[in-house]
Amino acid sequence: MPGTRQPLDKLLLFGATGDLSQRMLLPSLYGLDEDGLLPPDMTITGTARTVFEDGAFRKFAKEALEKYLPEDRKDKDKIASFLKRLNYQALDATKADHFKDLSDELGDTSKGLAIFLSTAPSLFEPTIKGLAQAGLAHGNVRIGLEKPLGYDLASSREINDAVAAVFPEDRIFRIDHYLGKETVQNILALRFGNSFFEPVWNAQGIDNVQITVSETVGLEERAGYYDGAGALRDMVTNHILQLVALIAMEPPARYDKDSIRDEKAKVFRSLHVMTPEEVPQNTVTGQYGPGAVGGEIVKGYLDELGKPSTTETFVAIKTRIDNWRWQGVPFYLRTGKRMAVRRSEIAIQFKPVPHSMFAGRGGLLQPNKLIIRLQPEEYIQMLVMAKEPGLDREGIHLREVPLNLSLDAEFAGARRRIAYERLLLDLIEGDQTLFVRRDEVEAQWAWTDAIRAGWTANDMKPKSYASGSWGPSTSIALTERDGVTWQDD
Ligand code: BG6
């Protein structure tokens, strides 16, 4: 709530010399600064293993901004003024005395410190301990945690326990950058700001829900992380399940951190946890082979990686939510690298009409569909039946036509912000609504672990698919045997 926001005046960025920092964090912070949204005296301290002087870090940040900011956002004076906020302290998280140096560099943090922590799962514990010992976990410190927060339920609990030993839950901000996306927040506006969806938003009105997050990129120099994670942990456990929760949750009473997260957590707790026997029928995994994406010939995963691997780069899952509202409604989820197009989309297919009065006159009906396109375009489309113009001498011709709401066009004047802009500002100001609570994360992992256990028990290996395709053909069978077709247009 704006009234209770409490901005801090120091920000500490772990992984400051990494890829996320260059592409997202520094451009986001600059974007906020440019619009006058950062506390005027706030300093930003970068830290990582790389040894840098302040000057070298500023140069690094300047290059990152030049590379990743859109041309129309590059303002020489504003960049120069942003860079003045930056300083740097190298840190090896395994060395306790380095945290003392970090604390000296930060100086007085009594007016508040926000920490953005992204690190390898194995370094979470020493980092949290180091911060605590150096006095950097006091009551006016908030910590933002970037994924991966573990690789299964047990390791995620370990990390959560280590953090909880030092920070109470109301000062922990677990990041899922999908929640920072404007279109993802728009799901809440669509569902709870309009009255006409709610009466049909349930098993009586909805036949099935599909969520697709397809990417055209491959490994992107992240082999070290990605090969140990795979598509299920990298995309489904967090981002896609958050989308499931926003689609499936009960209406929260208020737009606040407790109301919204309580409802999401209930969805996660109602997700059907698969038995090993159910896994082969309900999941498909794939790994991209060579092919062409966007007209460009690309290598297969194993060639990019340079060693054998059974990591999945594609996964499709049929799951369900065991509660009253969603009884019997399949949720089909899929995500993959090196697919035909880059697209994040939710398709809600409604039930057909109970009886077609047009059948005797040759009119064919399609069930209504609501498409929520999250990226790259932002639109909401309702597919409805309409009669083709004509005198109908040879029967009535009905056609599916789109009712289009283009958010891009409707809000053409509004700047689209990077998801991290929103999340960093909320961290700095202390609003947890768009961050993930511990019980959510643990329920997500419990569901994921059951699927992975099923893969192991059934010795399931990913099937190869051509880069530039929609994944292995078996993923088509996953929906087709229920009479459902993936929304691919
Ligand atoms: C990250 C994953 O969390 O999300 C990446 O680790 C993935 O593998 C990325 O590419 C996708 O994010 P976006 O915002 O491009 O959909």
Residue owning the nearest CA to atom 7 of ligand 1: 235
Q: Which pLDDT tens digit goes with each residue over 337-396?
A: 999 999 999 999 999 999 999 999 999 999 999 999 999 999 999 999 999 999 999 999
Point out the ligand 1 atom lying closest to the alpha carbon of residue 238.
3
CA gap 215, 335 in Å, rounded: 8
Assess whether pLDDT exceeds 70 at residue 4.
no
Point out the ligand 1 atom lying closest to the alpha carbon of residue 419.
14
Residue owning the nearest CA to atom 15 of ligand 1: 215
Residue owning the nearest CA to atom 2 of ligand 1: 234
The answer to whether residues 390 and 403 touch, using CB atoms and an 8 Å cutoff, is no
Sign of CA dihedral 382, 383, 385, 389: positive
- Burial profile 273-298: b = 16 or more Cβ within 10 angstroms, e = fewer: ebeeebbeebbbbbbbbbbebeeeeb
CATH fit for domain 181-414+439-480, picks 3.30.360.10, 3.40.50.1360, 3.40.47.10, 3.10.20.70: 3.30.360.10
- CB 146 near ligand 1, within 6 Å: no
* Residue 315 alpha carbon to ligand 1 centre in Å: 15
Cis peptide before 376 (omega within 30 of 0): yes
* Residue 239 alpha carbon to ligand 1 centre in Å: 9
| Mean pLDDT (whole number) for 164-179 | 98
* H or E element at residue 402: strand 398-406
Point out the ligand 1 atom lying closest to the alpha carbon of residue 147.
3
Cis peptide before 308 (omega within 30 of 0): no
CA gap 320, 329 in Å, rounded: 6
Note the pLDDT of residue 5: 66
Assess whether pLDDT exceeds 60 at residue 438.
yes
Q: Around Cβ 109, how many Cβ atoms within 10 Å?
A: 19
Nearest to 214 by CA among 398, 29, 487: 487
| Mean pLDDT (whole number) for 95-117 | 96
Q: Which pLDDT tens digit goes with each residue over 21-73?
A: 999 999 999 999 999 999 999 999 999 999 999 999 999 999 999 999 999 99
- CB 345 near ligand 1, within 6 Å: no
What confidence category does residue 312 fall into, taking pLDDT thresholds of 50, 70 and 90? very high
The answer to whether residues 442 and 153 touch, using CB atoms and an 8 Å cutoff, is yes
* Residue 213 alpha carbon to ligand 1 centre in Å: 9
SS3 239: helix
Altogether, the residues listed in the chain come to a count of 489
Point out the ligand 1 atom lying closest to the alpha carbon of residue 226.
8
Task: Indicate which residue of 177, 239, 272, 397 is catalytic.
Answer: 239
SS3 335: strand
Q: Which pLDDT tens digit goes with each residue over 207-262?
A: 999 999 999 999 988 898 999 999 999 999 999 999 999 999 999 999 999 999 99
- CB 312 near ligand 1, within 6 Å: no
CA gap 448, 237 in Å, rounded: 6
Residue owning the nearest CA to atom 14 of ligand 1: 178
Nearest to 116 by CA among 87, 143, 150, 88: 143
- CB 234 near ligand 1, within 6 Å: yes
| Mean pLDDT (whole number) for 299-324 | 97
Assess whether pLDDT exceeds 50 at residue 401.
yes
Nearest to 48 by CA among 156, 113, 142, 127: 127
What confidence category does residue 171 fall into, taking pLDDT thresholds of 50, 70 and 90? very high
% of the chain residues with pLDDT over 70:
99
Residue owning the nearest CA to atom 8 of ligand 1: 234
CA gap 437, 434 in Å, rounded: 9
Tokens of 59: 């140069």
* Residue 418 alpha carbon to ligand 1 centre in Å: 13
Tokens of 370: 């609501």
Q: Where in the chain is the domain with CATH 3.40.50.720?
A: 10-175
Note the pLDDT of residue 239: 98
User: What helix, strand, coil percent values describe the chain, rounded to 5?
Assistant: 40, 20, 35
- Parallel, antiparallel or unpaired: strands 463-467 and 314-319: unpaired
Domain at 10-175, CATH homologous superfamily: NAD(P)-binding Rossmann-like Domain (3.40.50.720)
Mutate to test the pocket of ligand 1, among 177, 243, 377 (most ligand atoms within 8 A of CB): 177
Note the pLDDT of residue 489: 74
Tally of CA atoms within 13 A in the half-sphere of 258 that contains its CB: 2
Point out the ligand 1 atom lying closest to the alpha carbon of residue 234.
6
Point out the ligand 1 atom lying closest to the alpha carbon of residue 217.
10
Note the pLDDT of residue 240: 98
Question: Any catalytic annotation for residue 177?
Answer: no
Q: Where in the chain is the domain with CATH 3.30.360.10?
A: 181-414+439-480
Note the pLDDT of residue 107: 96
Mutate to test the pocket of ligand 1, among 233, 235, 337, 420 (most ligand atoms within 8 A of CB): 235
- CB 215 near ligand 1, within 6 Å: yes
The answer to whether residues 338 and 218 touch, using CB atoms and an 8 Å cutoff, is yes
Least confident window among 115-124, 169-178, 274-283: 115-124
